[in-house]
């Protein structure tokens, strides 16, 4: 299985890494790590590239580099900087229920800060295409990062997590795998469907939402936060998907485009209850000390989604693209 091509560098961290991966040269000591913006393009692209070695890799990179000690050391340094920034940005919350309940409350003015509300109400097709291109970095690997937590759970939490993941992977039917449904949505919108195709177009805000899943999924110590992230995604998915499906119908998109979100309206309404009561509930029954970590996962998911929404809406309201390169120039 051939992976995507390596992206273009965005600075002093990603440049040396990409040169090392592309040409097999020695990896130099990271330059400027302490000064790098933890939410910035350079650090986020570097982290994304390193994480991708644990998914499908890259066409130019030997599979053996996945466990290269030098690359793992660099990844850990970047992770610590990113994680420190995330922990500093959200309040300590001892209640997982409180964090999840907050997701169900839409504050006054939320319509003006929500991408799905904007697209449903008065978004344009070119904006939805940009949104789909950016979301493809996750949706074409949908459910993969969360699968890493399965061997770290037990009993009720594990059984419920597997049940939800089974649905995400099509319940045994290839044609119903959610990643495939999203590829069909992209094709319906005239977008390229190759895995990782729009990486060069994605700003740091989009990369960070995917990097968070990889960070939490790859570390057993962060299993509680990964469950919190999963619960946050499932809690907000159904109402958001309903709005996005409505937006696509208003824009005249085809049935393939609409099907992805229609599927999530129904499925995730059920998943929300299973995840909250059995995955989160089962985990905290077994390991109650992880409750602050679950709440952290919920809170930090909202933080990064809000940052991405702010970027998208600010760009679109100025009538400019939210992408780093135009859709037709993304390689």
CA diameter of the chain: 54
User: What is the arithmetic mean of pLDDT over 201-219?
Assistant: 98
Q: Give mean pLDDT, residues 208-221.
A: 98
Say what the pLDDT of residue 106 is.
65
pLDDT in tens, 163-183: 999 999 999 999 999 999 999
- Whole-number percent of the chain with pLDDT over 90: 85
Mark which of 66, 88, 110 sits at the end of a domain.
Answer: 88
Q: Which of 196, 189, 212 is nearest to 135 (CA)?
A: 196
What is each CA distance from 170 to 17, 180, 187, 297, in whole angstroms? 36, 9, 19, 26
Structural domain contains residue 261: yes
- Examine residue 105 and state whether it is found in any structural domain, yes or no: yes
Domain-embedded: residue 3 = no
pLDDT value at position 152? 98
Angle at 207 between CA 202 and CA 213, to 5 degrees: 150
Assess whether 47 and 153 both reside in one domain: no
Res. 105 pLDDT band, cuts 50 70 90: confident
Domain boundary among 22, 53, 88: 88
What's the average model confidence in pLDDT over 304-310? 98
Same domain, 36 and 146: no
Quick one: average pLDDT of 142-167? 96
Query: Does residue 107 surpass a pLDDT of 60?
Result: no
Residue that terminates a domain, selected from 46, 68, 88: 88
Residues 118 and 256 in one domain: yes
Q: What are the backbone angles phi and psi of residue 65, rounded to the nearest 5°?
A: -70, -10
Q: pLDDT at position 80, please?
A: 97
Q: How confident is the model at residue 3 (pLDDT cuts 50, 70, 90)?
A: confident
Domain check: are 127 and 257 in the same one? yes
- The percent of residues in the chain predicted with pLDDT above 70, rounded, is 97
Query: Do both 30 and 179 map to the same domain?
Result: no
In this prediction, residue 104 carries a pLDDT of 81
Separation between Cα atoms, residue 324 and residue 331, nearest integer Å: 12
Q: How confident is the model at residue 48 (pLDDT cuts 50, 70, 90)?
A: very high
Check whether residue 80 and residue 218 sit in a common domain: no
Task: Record the tokens describing residue 234, joined without a space.
Answer: 């499932």
Given this model, what pLDDT does residue 71 score? Answer: 97
Other residues' Cβ atoms within 10 Å of the Cβ of residue 230: 28
Confidence of residue 331 (pLDDT cuts 50, 70, 90): low
Give the length of the chain.
331
What is the average pLDDT across 216-238? Answer: 95
Q: Residue 281 pLDDT more than 60?
A: yes
pLDDT of amino acid 283: 98
For every residue of 46-115, which 3-state class applies, written as one string?
HHHHHHHCCCCCCCCCCHHHHHCHHHHHHHHHHHHHHHHHHHHHCCCCCCHHHHHHHHCCCCCCHHHCCH
Q: What is the mean pLDDT of the chain?
A: 94
Q: Give the pLDDT score at 2.
A: 74
Domain count for the chain: 2
**In terms of pLDDT, which residue wins out, 256 or 1?**
256
pLDDT greater than 80 at residue 111: no
Distance (Å) of CA 14 to CA 79, 127, 155, 207, 331: 14, 28, 41, 13, 17
134 contacts 186 by C-beta, under 8 angstroms: no
321 Cβ neighbours under 8 A, 6+ residues apart: 130, 315
Burial 105-143 (b: 16+ CB within 10 A, else e): eeeeeeeeebbbbbbbeebebebbbbbbbbbbbbbbbbb
Name the pTM for this structure: 0.96
- Residue ranges making up the domain that contains 21: 14-88
Q: Is residue 78 domain-shared with residue 109, that is, in the same domain?
A: no
Say whether both 79 and 24 belong to one domain: yes
- pLDDT surpasses 60 at 109: no
């Amino acid at each position: 299985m051939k992976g995507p091509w390596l992206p273009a560098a965005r600075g002093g961290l990603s440049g040396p890494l990409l040169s090392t991966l592309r040409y097999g040269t020695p990896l130099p000591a990271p330059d400027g790590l302490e000064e790098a913006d933890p939410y910035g393009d350079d650090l986020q692209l570097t982290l994304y590239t390193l994480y991708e070695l644990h998914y499908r890799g890259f066409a130019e990179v030997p599979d053996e580099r996945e466990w290269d000690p030098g690359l793992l050391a660099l990844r850990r340094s970047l992770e610590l900087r990113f994680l420190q920034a995330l922990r500093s940005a959200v309040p300590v919350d001892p209640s997982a229920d409180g964090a999840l309940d907050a997701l169900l409350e839409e504050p006054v003015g939320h319509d003006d800060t929500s991408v799905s509300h904007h697209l449903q109400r008065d978004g344009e097709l070119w904006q939805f295409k940009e949104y789909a291109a950016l979301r493809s970095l996750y949706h074409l690997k949908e459910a993969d990062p969360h699968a890493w937590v399965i061997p770290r759970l037990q009993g009720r939490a594990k059984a419920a997590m597997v049940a939800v993941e089974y649905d995400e992977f099509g319940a045994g039917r290839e044609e119903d795998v959610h990643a495939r449904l999203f590829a069909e949505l992209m094709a319906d919108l005239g977008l390229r469907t190759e895995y990782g195709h729009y990486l060069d177009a994605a700003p740091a805000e989009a990369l960070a939402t995917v990097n968070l899943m990889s960070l939490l999924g790859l570390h057993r110590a962060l299993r509680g936060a990964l469950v919190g992230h999963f619960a946050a995604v499932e809690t907000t998915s159904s109402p958001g998907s309903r709005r996005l499906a409505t937006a696509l119908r208003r824009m005249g998109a085809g049935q393939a485009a609409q099907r992805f979100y229609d599927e999530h309206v129904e499925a995730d309404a059920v998943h929300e209850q299973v995840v909250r009561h059995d995955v989160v509930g089962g985990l905290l029954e077994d390991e109650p000390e992880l409750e602050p970590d679950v709440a952290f996962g919920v809170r930090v998911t909202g933080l990064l989604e809000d940052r991405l929404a702010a970027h998208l809406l600010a760009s679109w309201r100025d009538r400019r693209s939210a992408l780093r390169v135009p859709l037709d120039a993304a390689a």
